[in-house]
A and B are shown apart, each in its own frame.
Chain A
Amino acid sequence: MPNDVLLQAENLQTHFELRKFGFVRAGEVRAVDGVTFHIRRGEAVAIVGESGCGKSTLARTVLGLYEPTAGSVLFDGVDMSSYDRRKLAWHRRQVGYVQQDPYAALPPFMDVRQLLREPLLVNGVRDRAEQEQRIRSRLEEIRLTPAASFLEKFPHQLSGGQQQRVVIARARILDPQLIVADEPVSMLDASVRVEVLQLLRQLQRKHRMALLYITHDLSTVRYFCERIFIMYGAKIVERGPVEAILARPEHPYTQALVDAIPDPDAANAGQYRKVPAGEPPSLLHPPEGCRFHPRCSFAIQGLCERHDPPDFETGAGRRAACWLYREAAVEHNLQR
């Protein structure tokens, strides 16, 4: 089993200190606050949450761009905090990164060949022929063909979908074991979203890469991932297999998210959806107890606003951090 796990995060915390006048400590933003999860080799996993819930920070921590404040991330069985320079360089080869805004993610002054060559140069692939061969094969992989006609194009000469595919090619160029895709389609036109997602999924399956897909949009998750983590207020509030969660969401927040998935059906015209009132929680001063309780319509007086709910096991591979499931969890355990 452990060999099957590619990435293991244990009580991961990433906090940002706020300072006044550059030295007076003025509190900290707890962007990721005690997150535990794992990703298996070749598995596609989605982290879903609204903006400001800490999901991008989580991605960057996994990428090694942020140092976790506490907790640990084990990649391929090695604790990232124990990395030396060489090991960190190795980690960077193993993890590809696909960002949200494809135009910003590509240096505007480099053509496609140059910008795809950069990761190779940085990681010691010096042989020109090999560089060229890899660049061409990745371009074909993302279906920018004929590759030769795209090599000399600059990012602004490509469409948004093409730009994002170049970003994917760049993430793939070092043959990573894991790709972190942070809202890869949210800046794209609806018409090319599916195409890019399918491409990503296809590459993931073909090369048996793990994929950490970060999004705020549950509707794109269904065809894409095996498991989802729902993040709210810097914590994972619900996790489980995609189909199960979408069919039967348990955490009240997840229920609201699933309810909000647009369903293009004429019968829905004029129907209003339930939307949880209020604002996402401040990560500087998170609410006491369950972070969702101020917006939750099922909040249990005297419990939810006082005590932070632990993860309750509610079914096969399913967990929800909600006091509503304390009995269900007991039941589930009894059944086992």
Chain B
Amino acid sequence: MNRFISFARELKRYPSAIAGLVLIALFLALALYSLIMVPQSHAVQLWRAGIARRDSPRNARPVWYNALPWVNLPRTLVLDSAEHPELKRYREISEEHNEIEIAFEFDYHYDAFPRELNLFLRSEYESRRPFASVRWVTPDGRSFSLSDGGVDREQSIRIDQLRGLRRELGDVAPRVGLFADPASAEGVPQVLHGTYRVEIEGVSFEPDSDIEARFVRYGQVHGLAGTDHIRRDIAVALLFGTRPALAFGILAAVGSTVTTLVLAAVGVWFRGKVDAAIQRVTEVNMVLPLLPVLVMVGTLYSRSIWVMLGVVILFGIFSAGIKTYRAMFLQIRELAYIEAARAYGAGNTRIIFRYMIPKVLPTLIPSFVTVIPSFVFLEATLAMIGLGDPVLPTWGKVLEDAYRNGALYRGQYYWVLLPSSLLILTGLGFAMFGFALDRVFNPRLRER
């Protein structure tokens, strides 16, 4: 305990250690938060199921992009009559007939046009469908008919794809035309600021029949990290990607360094055939290419992140590190205290684990910490070359999607920069912490 306190005090002298620890703690907290708040299966569903992202735009930038003084992009707006009953008015015409009026009203003061406009209608009826007409009213009083006719139980009106409306607006996409100032120059539509209205006038033909409407104005900015080409909120992937990233990095680092260390010590201590066998296996392993083997396993067997992790650890066991550790252990084996231990009867296991390995731990721990990010990067690399886990959302898979959809060519920098910066921050955190540890454990490195 005393040792731990003095160690902590020593570590506090290095600001980089604090910064690194804060970063690591942040990522761990993020991973823990995602673990506690949302179970894994739900996360997967959130990422994969279509229904959860019906209200998200495609390829929207993060909302904080609007913080730039010259940027004023529309946000997503969802108006649902089921959630806001006050927007709905009934008027009884007869016992059977009801007039249903839904009016959505919103201010539009953005400098750009929305990504998309959708209206989802739902109705309840026994045998006779209710009827509804939908109108769009601009701030300057112009009005356009969006739809006219019977309402199905589930019906979506993709306003942007209404051919007639497009023609009516002068061959301009409705998402632009509906918001454009008619006075703006040809070809450079300007947004007409003001209050817009979507009016739905319906008639039901049965006593219990009803209509609900959900209007979604998809923004050009959405969520903390934007959205991808299939409306998924990238923030979800970034949050849930923390877990596999850290797990992969730490488990791979532990799995490979610890076993490597033990094997090197065992080889050096027992010498002879044991050592020779370990050395030969290591040498064979050193010339085996890891990536092609991973591609093979991924193609022929499974791309699960845990299978990949297993292969990485398997290859890490007899890694080149054995050579380095062996050189250290060869010196340690000849130290007087080990001879003393033999003289008072310490057994092989005790000598290896209690006398040889603790001696190299000070040099090992920092390199262990600094090697973690390289495994985090490996996971991202695997995802980039199409070996990402098919189910789990990971940082690497976000990057892969961005790459496959030409995010950088299309100016969707956020799609690449956010997961990359998380990867970089992970690397930075572990590196800064590891280098500080190195200086604490190996005082010779201290700058004076």
Contacts and interface: CB of A to CB of B under 8 A. Distances in A.
Interface of A: 60, 63-65, 88-89, 92-93, 95-97, 99-101, 104-109, 118-119, 122-123, 152, 167, 170, 174
B36 interface: no
22 contacts: A64-B343, A65-B342, A88-B345, A92-B344, A92-B345, A93-B345, A96-B343, A96-B344, A97-B339, A104-B335, A105-B337, A105-B340, A107-B358, A109-B359, A118-B344, A119-B345, A122-B345, A122-B346, A122-B350, A167-B340, A170-B340, A174-B344
Contacts of A65: 339, 342-343
A278 B21 CA distance: 63
Given A92-B344, A123-B344, A152 B336 contact: no
B52 to A, nearest CB: 53
Nearest to B338: A107
A202 B275 CA distance: 45
B359 to A, nearest CB: 7
- The 8 A-B residue pairs whose C-beta atoms are closest, nearest first, are A92-B345, A104-B336, A97-B343, A119-B344, A105-B336, A107-B337, A109-B358, A99-B336
A170 B344 CA distance: 9
Nearest to A173: B344
- Identify which of A89, A99, A107, A122 gathers the most chain B CB atoms within 10 Å of its CB: A107
A170 B339 CA distance: 13
Contacts of A170: 340, 344
Interface in B310-357: 335-337, 339-347, 350, 354-355
Contact of B340 (A88, A99, A109, A174): A99
A38 to B, nearest CB: 21
Q: How large is the interface on B (under 10, 10 to 19, 20 to 34, 35 or more residues)?
A: 10 to 19
B41 interface: no
B127 interface: no
A63 B343 contact: yes
B396 to A, nearest CB: 39
B94 interface: no
Nearest to B346: A122
Given A122-B350, A123-B344, A107 B339 contact: no
Interface in B142-191: none
Given A96-B343, A97-B340, A170-B340, 6 more contacts: A64-B343, A92-B343, A93-B345, A105-B340, A107-B358, A174-B344
Contacts of B2: 152
B339 to A, nearest CB: 7
Contacts of A64: 343
Interface SS of chain B = helix
Contacts of B342: 65
Nearest to A119: B344
B358 A89 contact: no
A95 B345 contact: no
A218 B359 CA distance: 36
A316 to B, nearest CB: 35
A122 B340 contact: no
Interface string B188-213: 00000000000000000000000000
Contacts of B343: 63-65, 92, 95-97
Contacts of A123: 344-345
Nearest to B356: A107
A101 B347 contact: no
A212 to B, nearest CB: 13
A132 B241 CA distance: 51
B428 to A, nearest CB: 30
A89 B341 CA distance: 12
Given A122-B350, A152-B2, A106 B344 contact: no
Contacts of A109: 358-359, 361
Nearest to A59: B343
A107 B345 contact: no
Contacts of B347: 122
Contact of B341 (A88, A96, A101, A118): A118
Nearest to A176: B344
Contacts of B346: 118, 122
Contacts of B336: 99-101, 104-105
B442 to A, nearest CB: 13
Nearest to B362: A109
Contacts of A96: 343-344
Contacts of B335: 104
Contacts of B341: 107, 118, 122
A122 B343 CA distance: 11
A108 B354 CA distance: 12
A66 B385 CA distance: 56
B265 to A, nearest CB: 15
A63 B343 CA distance: 7
B201 to A, nearest CB: 83
Contacts of B339: 60, 65, 97, 99
Contacts of A118: 341, 344, 346, 354
A106 B2 CA distance: 21
B358 A97 contact: no
Contacts of A95: 343
A170 B343 CA distance: 11
Interface centre among B2, B335, B337, B350 (most CB of A within 10 A): B337
A162 to B, nearest CB: 16
Residue from B2, B344, B350, B355 having most chain A Cβ neighbours under 10 A: B344
Contacts of A100: 336
Of A88, A95, A170, most B-chain CB atoms within 10 Å: A170
B194 to A, nearest CB: 75
Nearest to A104: B336
A253 to B, nearest CB: 29
A107 B341 CA distance: 9
B364 to A, nearest CB: 13
A88 to B, nearest CB: 8
Query: Which of B335, B345, B354, B361 has its CB near the most chain A CB atoms (within 10 A)?
Result: B345
Nearest to A115: B337
Nearest to B335: A104
Contacts of B345: 88-89, 92-93, 119, 122-123
B154 to A, nearest CB: 70
Contacts of B344: 92-93, 96-97, 118-119, 122-123, 170, 174
Nearest to B343: A97
B361 to A, nearest CB: 8
A106 B337 contact: yes
Contacts of B359: 107-109
A64 B355 CA distance: 20
B342 to A, nearest CB: 6
A300 B285 CA distance: 64
B298 to A, nearest CB: 41
